[in-house]
Chain A
Amino acid sequence: MADTIVVTDLVKSYESKNAVDGVTFSVADGEFFGILGPNGAGKTTTLEMIEGLREPDSGSVSLLGMSPWPRNSKLLPRIGVQLQASAFFEQLTAREQLHTFVDLYGQSMARVDELLEMVGLQDKAGTRAEKLSGGQAQRLSIACSLVNDPEVVFLDEPTAALDPQARRNLWDVLRDINDRGKTVVLTTHYMDEAESLCDRVAIMDNGKILQLGPPAVLVRGLDAPVRISVEQAVLDADSARGLPGADQVEQDGSSTIITTRTPSPVLSALAERDALDGLQVRGATLEDVFLDLTGREYRA
């Protein structure tokens, strides 16, 4: 079956700058797809061209087999879009916001309570949108994007500016949406978020896609070393250098840090010596992938 989204050589420039500079990718039905990149990378612009909010300078977008530009009223009932957590009617309660969107999409009123429950806002139903916390407002705006039970959901940085706990709560909501069979396209500047949620992720910088694939594959492809640290008291640097597979050993305060490309023999040797106190193993992350691709530290 055809891909849900096919983007080919998309370009959009503002003044002299190319916000999106030749982007090509496709998203399969039911996939959780992430666009990851620092601020200004061109994520929002890419997303908005797919949604049909902006006209590409060149290139093409096919969404559910149709072109989203110009405003395509056949497409609108089939997609759900979360733009920004403030896109609410002023002074209306959470329930009234949903009620209004349910009306706009011609859905049944039963949806209102279903959605409130789905995003866990039942006890905030009577609260005005302005009075919701950041995380609650994000969840409400996601609920609003789901009123029409869309086939494809677009979420633009849904967890931006949330505290870690609220972010994790929201991840559960997003996984749940994807588990219901919906194709989800999400932009984020959080590496861990992309790693944890997405089936595939496109790493974007300066309007271009640098790398695309499942997060685990991208990380593995790096062939980056693993850092193993143990307490200095159980293993000093000199004995660590004697371990099989230890490429490099450093001393950092009270820890001994071993860098290795073959963590298995190192770990079994440590176990043999009963030297596992305070053990920490840190593998490569998407952050290392970004560093590798751009030669600079990732800073959201």
Chain B
Amino acid sequence: MRAFVSLARAMFKGFLRDRTSLFFTLFFPLFFIIIFGTVFSDQGAAKQKVELVGEVPLISSLPADARAGLDEVFQLSTGDDLGAAVESVRKGDLAAAVQQQGDTIEVHYSAADQVGSATVLGVLNSFIGQANIAATGSPPKYTLSQQTVEDASLKAIQYVTPGMIGYGIAIGATFGAAMTLITWRDKKLLRRLRLAPISTASVVGSRVVVSLLVALVQLVIFIGVASLPFLGLKLTGSWWMAVPLTLAGTLAFLSIGLFVGAIAKTAEGGAALANLITLPMAFLSGAFIPLEVAPGWIQGVAKVLPMGWLVTGLKDVMVRGQGPGAALLPIAILLAFSVVVGAIATRFFKWDKA
């Protein structure tokens, strides 16, 4: 037990202190989450520019949350010169100019920009309607709750996050196991350990535990960052099933890493082989591009790849609102994969270079 803990601690420290491994397992996927999350986050229609001419109490006295709603569709500015504002509307620089005289709201719009003016008129109409109801002092009877069907799945961060978690875990586990095996063998540390009074199970077990730990750290950090307000990941009900999925996925890629480590002779060769396996797999598994928009053959291929099951499972429970049961089949397949590939890796395992 002491040997096991000690080896695990040594490996974990080694991981934390190695810039390359930290970069590829943490910062690289994180970078994608942030880039894709921010670049593609603003997919809504462009805001309409509306100028308020003089005092417009209907809008300036709106409660904060209502005002925030308005700011989402309008880019509001204020001015005093109606003539100049109307001229800007004519030129298309403004979608509308709004004036209030007593209880009447006057909107100047251009018939040339039909979409813009229709949006402005529709929004203002609904505001006036709500203001009228509010003025009667009785609560509104009907409310309209809007829900787009695609809402969740269309927002980039929603599919980028599970994809990057899947990819990050895959490279973390594959490289971690492969590099430990290769460098330890290369530096004769494996043989040194073979001469220490410890069991092989301690050596393998500590590597497995460290990989699982690293994967959980990745999961927490990736979800944590993606949930920051500027990225706005919204998790659905049984997202916690991502934890067992992550663990099963780690075991699967750990076995791939052990296999790579068993057959590769040098660290460079091992890194190349690990990339050669994980990178194309990421493209074919929906980690980088959503499977929904991928050609049919890719969707088929994803069904036989461990990363495909991992990413699909993660998406189902984290963002598609599926129940916990949706993760069971992917978990079972990932575990079966680990057993088979792990057994093959054991076959090829060598203590020594020669």
Interface residues of A, Cβ cutoff 8 Å to B: 51-53, 71, 73, 76-77, 79, 81, 83-84, 86-92, 96, 99-101, 103-106, 128, 144
Q: How far is the CB of A109 from chain B (nearest CB, A)?
A: 11
B121 within 8 A of A: no
Interface contacts (Cβ under 8 Å), in number, total 69
B14 in contact with A91 (CB, 8 Å)? yes
Q: How far is the CB of B161 from chain A (nearest CB, A)?
A: 30
B47 within 8 A of A: no
- B residues less than 8 Å from A77 (CB atoms): 197
Closest to B6 in A: A103
Would you mind naming 30 contact pairs between A and B with Cβ atoms under 8 Å apart?
Answer: A53-B191, A53-B194, A71-B194, A76-B195, A76-B196, A76-B197, A81-B192, A81-B195, A83-B188, A83-B195, A87-B187, A87-B191, A88-B187, A88-B189, A89-B10, A89-B14, A90-B18, A91-B13, A91-B17, A92-B14, A100-B7, A100-B9, A103-B2, A103-B3, A103-B6, A104-B193, A104-B196, A105-B196, A128-B17, A144-B192
Closest to B203 in A: A104
A86 in contact with B188 (CB, 8 Å)? yes
Q: How far is the CB of A29 from chain B (nearest CB, A)?
A: 21
Closest to A68 in B: B195
B322 within 8 A of A: no
Also in contact, A53 and B195, with CB within 8 A (given A103-B5, A104-B6): yes
Give bound CA distance, A106 to B7, whole Å: 13
Give bound CA distance, A92 to B18, whole Å: 10
- B residues less than 8 Å from A104 (CB atoms): 3, 6-7, 193, 196-198
B196 in contact with A87 (CB, 8 Å)? no
Interface residues of B, Cβ cutoff 8 Å to A: 2-3, 5-7, 9-11, 13-14, 17-18, 183, 187-189, 191-198
- B residues less than 8 Å from A84 (CB atoms): 187-188
Interface secondary structure of B, over-half rule: helix
B18 in contact with A86 (CB, 8 Å)? no
- B residues less than 8 Å from A53 (CB atoms): 191, 194-195
Give bound CA distance, A122 to B187, whole Å: 24
- A residues less than 8 Å from B14 (CB atoms): 89-92
Closest to B190 in A: A87
Give bound CA distance, A77 to B195, whole Å: 9
Give bound CA distance, A230 to B67, whole Å: 107
A51 in contact with B196 (CB, 8 Å)? no
Extra 12 A-B pairs, beta carbons < 8 Å, given A71-B194, A90-B18: A81-B195, A83-B188, A83-B191, A83-B195, A86-B187, A91-B13, A91-B17, A92-B10, A103-B3, A104-B7, A104-B196, A104-B197
- A residues less than 8 Å from B195 (CB atoms): 51-53, 76, 79, 81, 83
B2 in contact with A106 (CB, 8 Å)? yes
Give bound CA distance, A92 to B191, whole Å: 18
Closest to B199 in A: A73
Closest to A129 in B: B187
Give bound CA distance, A186 to B96, whole Å: 92
- B residues less than 8 Å from A79 (CB atoms): 195
